[in-house]
Structure 1
């Protein structure tokens, strides 16, 4: 099988991290976001993955070469010269996706983190003889989204309702699809939305089905949702692979610590924390609801909560970092500094407190 991942453009919502690497290469739970998806696709039988991208394809491919060999999956880029929406990339990659076999292919949005039940989805798709199958997920406030209205007995999609003001359902598109090659005949080589222009036509012909996503789902394309997604992901690990989580007197709740990270005495870490490779957490540090990326040093008695600390940064002694602070790569905070929602661009030194949320250029 083949798959296409919609990588897209500049990742502006996740800056300043995406000023250093393309968004799909930003680490989530100690591995690049896109690697979570490629591993799941491999497990479902995918042998070739197409990355639909219009930003830094050479960097992306160069980084993924080692994983290509490791996973035994062919990874190629389909580069857009202009933003092509969510359907245009399928037309652009048509010759790759439609190899004459008639086999279906997966389409994924690169921001989505879930348990990826792709094998179950493929069985569902084949059993319903669908032209396309979409994964849907339940939300608490459907008025914020485009709602999928469908027959819950058969899975047959009736229509889509954008941000309904009266209740029509609470299931939304989860950004995970399986399509037959025939769908490519519906897509022109131009910027096109698969959700608004293609799927409604497939639904009108009675050939669009949906399957409810079991487990968690989160679009992690912005810092607040990234931290929420981490919490959901770690809770999922607790249920499925508890041996991957850290334990000990210094750990509370769900925590992921790379084996090369060093943790000092008297720390309290968790809940909902990931600590990347080569990190050095000095004695007396308090971490909760945060991500510490590769090569970070957190000095004695610092406190970090609800934040993301970028690669090779330093947080000083007795510093306090909170309220969705995001430090870019190679940012160095002095001792006893406070950050309340600061967004700090790469390669900066912070000597004064950031008392209210702001961008530090």
Structure 2
């Protein structure tokens, strides 16, 4: 039986500085998106691969930071998950090669390689099947983007018929143009998604790069000053990048192929992207894991609007007291969502409204209080429309107005 292993590159504290301050107390791969650690989304996708033997996580974090999570997810998914700590930066391909003996322990026929900070639906079984049809050394997941934004990523050209990778450039300064037909030359709109499947031949390709560098280093005869200049310009001999050192040189040699996804894809580089990606994963749950999404009846539990995740240990108050415009008051259910993820041991009080947010562990959001003192007196004239999510506090609004922004202590003429 053919076996498959998966390798997820998780980086480390020396990288991912753009994700601060969210990564100060929690390693970036463990930051929750849609109620699950960021890394759990690709791990769960790997579980859907037939004949998956093992999952490896490679990074620079201390082993103790991942020990509890690795043990927990291994038991939950019934698949061995191991964390491997690099002793120093080896590059995306060099890190894979450094742990080649462990990766090949189960004698796998294929190796799935992913980056942790990628958000997508991870169609890994389909990618693997396409790779087997192509018969090459490797296949990468690609997606179409606007030609104007393609140069921000790993830009590539693929044969439209065979899907062979013809050209690859990592974040080129100028657009890459298709060259498979002189009569049809247009700007490339395909980019690398950072998700791959390789045969074990990938290790032979990496070894070839290392051998070439060692040979060049041995025959180089330069003065000490020239050696110093050379050292400042070149990478360490054992530092191998997947894109520049493997993908680019092998493009057009019938060894690498592409598989295009039409689903969503994003990079998780900044704190703002975490909220967008959480929303994408919540929407995906409707298809893959609907049991993870919260529901509410608006009477004994909070009203749920859109896609929401609530951890089983969280306490969300079922009602919120709303001061009516008239002299009387009414009890309405609180509303949570859309795009809300509530983590473990969170407490949400009465009257709280949550929308587009990630609430981390042990947070308390209070909602009780003296509403009369806070809201003052608000008068709305005849035929006034107050749109959703708009708050009006201690204000007077003349007739026939439409409020689409919140106001406080104002007279709207």
Task: Please say if residues 279 and 293 of structure 1, whose CA atoms lie closer than 8 Å, have aligned partners that are also in contact.
Answer: yes
Q: Name the CA distance, whole Å, in 1 between partners of 2:343 and 2:101.
A: 39
Match of 1:324 in 2: none
Are 1:18 and 2:23 counterparts? yes
Structure number with higher strand proportion: 1
Number of aligned pairs? 303
Match of 2:132 in 1: 126
Match of 1:148 in 2: 156
Match of 1:7 in 2: 10
Are 1:256 and 2:309 counterparts? yes
SS of corresponding position for 2:344:
coil
Task: Please say if residues 216 and 233 of structure 1, whose CA atoms lie closer than 8 Å, have aligned partners that are also in contact.
Answer: no
1:99 CA displacement = 4.4
Match of 2:82 in 1: 76
Task: Please say if residues 345 and 362 of structure 2, whose CA atoms lie closer than 8 Å, have aligned partners that are also in contact.
Answer: yes
1:175 CA displacement = 0.8
Task: Please say if residues 112 and 219 of structure 1, whose CA atoms lie closer than 8 Å, have aligned partners that are also in contact.
Answer: yes
Match of 1:326 in 2: none
Task: Please say if residues 307 and 337 of structure 2, whose CA atoms lie closer than 8 Å, have aligned partners that are also in contact.
Answer: yes
Task: Please say if residues 22 and 271 of structure 2, whose CA atoms lie closer than 8 Å, have aligned partners that are also in contact.
Answer: no
1:241 CA displacement = 4.2
Q: 1:210 aligns with which of 250, 255, 258?
A: 258
CA RMSD of aligned residues (A): 2.2
Match of 2:273 in 1: 225
Q: TM-score, normalised by structure 2?
A: 0.68
SS of corresponding position for 2:61:
coil
1:24 CA displacement = 1.3
Task: Please say if residues 70 and 82 of structure 2, whose CA atoms lie closer than 8 Å, have aligned partners that are also in contact.
Answer: no
Change in 2 beyond 3 A, CA 1:210/1:271: same
Match of 1:160 in 2: 168
Are 1:270 and 2:353 counterparts? no
Extract unaligned runs of 5+ from structure 1: 303-317, 319-361
Task: Please say if residues 78 and 92 of structure 1, whose CA atoms lie closer than 8 Å, have aligned partners that are also in contact.
Answer: no
Deviation >6 Å, runs of 4+: none
Are 1:27 and 2:27 counterparts? no
SS of corresponding position for 2:168:
strand
SS of corresponding position for 1:136:
strand
1:243 CA displacement = 4.5
Q: TM-score, normalised by structure 1?
A: 0.78
